[in-house]
């Protein structure tokens, strides 16, 4: 047994013969911020998809706080304590900011879904459905308590981005700026009170001042003791927020260590920074 929060061993995933993730092992300790960097197509998002249960591995194991999660679906993994955001940002466009955040809390509710364990058993599915309907209409002391807890939780998460989301809490997500949609997405993930927060390029498409705002918010989360697994292209942000950096190339880990050490690793400069310079010169992605 390890005392790691997340332990990944020999993880593999291929797509039609392409080894997107090719036997990688790494860990995240409680309270640690670990970043994965690497060129486009190196397997970063696939790794996050595997860890969060969006897709299944073809080999290896994933353990969260001592429990194997590599066979669990994403809903079950959310209950285990992993929340994530997506590379392109995903919010429910017609829901308000507050309602989007509330959605995040429902993976951890119990009082309004007391029989949810039965919903996996085909013949008994109607019991949780009827039970939840009854509670939704009539309510119970526990579900009313939970209702108040939800309202408090939504307030707390909006407060995290008060200057940006506070005035917009009742606005539909489609009316928000791109940066505010991404903030809403992070707030929704944090509303789950995850043991591990998984972020896929949280500053993609943001300008410099928006990026430094997100950096500050990540530093605040880190100061609260939040463990984070981060994929991010902006190296300055990665260097400032990470305890440890993992470098991927071609589905494998080619370097790993403290930010300053990784930054000067010749293999990293070649695979990551060198190739990006070439891409810029050649105009190709």
Ligand X SMILES: Nc1ncnc2c1ncn2[C@@H]1O[C@H](COP(=O)(O)OP(=O)(O)O)[C@@H](O)[C@H]1O
Which of ligand X, Mg ion, none has residue 46 at its interface (CB below 5 to 8 Å by kind)?
ligand X
Minimal distance in Å, beta carbon 263 to ligand X? 19
Task: Figure out which of the listed residues 6, 11, 20, 227 binds ligand X, where binding follows CB under 6 A.
Answer: 20
Which residue bears the tokens 């599915």? 125
CB closer to ligand X out of 45 and 184: 45
Which of Mg ion, ligand X, none has residue 38 at its interface (CB below 5 to 8 Å by kind)?
ligand X
CA 21, 22, 27 angle in degrees (round to 5)?
Answer: 75
Listed ranges 12-20, 58-66, 137-145, 217-225: which one lies at the site for ligand X (CB under 6 A): 12-20
- Please tell me whether residue 41 binds ligand X under the rule CB under 6 A: yes
- Please tell me whether residue 181 binds ligand X under the rule CB under 6 A: no
Q: Does residue 242 contact residue 7 with C-beta atoms inside 8 Å? A: no
Beta strands across the sheet bearing 6-15:
18-28, 6-15, 59-64, 67-68
* Alpha-carbon gap, residue 124 to 135, rounded angstroms: 18
Minimal distance in Å, beta carbon 13 to ligand X? 8
* Alpha-carbon gap, residue 230 to 210, rounded angstroms: 17
Tokens coding 223: 């100061």
Task: Figure out which of the listed residues 7, 35, 42, 52 binds ligand X, where binding follows CB under 6 A.
Answer: 42
- Please tell me whether residue 45 binds Mg ion under the rule CB under 5 A: yes
CB closer to Mg ion out of 98 and 246: 246
Task: Figure out which of the listed residues 4, 6, 7, 38 binds ligand X, where binding follows CB under 6 A.
Answer: 38
End-to-end CA distance of the chain: 43
Which of Mg ion, ligand X, none has residue 42 at its interface (CB below 5 to 8 Å by kind)?
ligand X
CB closer to Mg ion out of 44 and 160: 44
Three-state secondary structure call for residue 27: strand
- Please tell me whether residue 44 binds ligand X under the rule CB under 6 A: yes
* Alpha-carbon gap, residue 8 to 28, rounded angstroms: 9
Pick from 179, 227, 232: which is nearest to 201 by CA? Answer: 232
Three-state secondary structure call for residue 77: helix
Count of CA atoms in the C-beta half-sphere (13 A) of 193: 9
Listed ranges 18-26, 39-47, 248-256, 273-281: which one lies at the site for Mg ion (CB under 5 A): 39-47
DSSP H or E stretch at residue 198:
strand 196-200
Task: Figure out which of the listed residues 4, 7, 35, 46 binds ligand X, where binding follows CB under 6 A.
Answer: 46
Binding site for Mg ion (CB under 5 A): 44-45, 87
Binding site for ligand X (CB under 6 A): 15, 18, 20, 38, 40-46
């Amino acid at each position: 047994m390890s005392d790691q929060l997340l332990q990944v061993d020999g993880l593999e995933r291929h797509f039609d013969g392409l080894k997107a993730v090719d036997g990688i092992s790494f860990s995240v300790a409680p309270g640690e911020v670990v970043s994965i960097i690497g060129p486009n197509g190196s397997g970063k998002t696939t790794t996050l998809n595997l860890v969060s249960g969006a897709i299944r591995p073809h080999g290896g194991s994933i353990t969260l706080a001592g429990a194997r999660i590599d066979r669990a679906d994403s809903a079950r993994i959310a209950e285990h304590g992993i929340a994530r955001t997506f590379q392109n940002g995903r919010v429910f466009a017609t829901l308000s900011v507050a309602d989007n955040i509330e959605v995040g809390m429902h993976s951890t509710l119990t009082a309004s879904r007391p029989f949810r364990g039965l919903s996996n058993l085909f013949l008994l599915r109607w019991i949780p459905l009827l039970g939840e309907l009854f509670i939704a209409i009539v309510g119970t002391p526990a579900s009313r308590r939970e209702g108040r807890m939800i309202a408090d939780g939504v307030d707390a998460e909006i407060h995290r981005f008060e200057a940006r989301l506070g005035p917009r809490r009742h606005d539909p997500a489609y009316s928000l700026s791109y940066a505010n949609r991404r903030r809403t997405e992070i707030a929704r993930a944090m509303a789950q009170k995850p043991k591990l927060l998984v972020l896929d390029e949280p500053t993609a498409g943001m300008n410099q001042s928006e990026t430094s705002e997100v950096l500050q918010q990540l530093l605040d989360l880190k100061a609260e003791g939040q463990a984070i697994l981060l994929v991010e292209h902006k190296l300055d942000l990665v260097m400032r927020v990470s305890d440890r950096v993992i470098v991927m190339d071609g589905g494998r880990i080619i370097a790993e260590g403290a930010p300053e050490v990784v930054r000067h690793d010749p293999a990293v400069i070649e695979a990551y920074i060198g190739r990006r310079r070439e891409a810029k010169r050649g105009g190709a992605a």
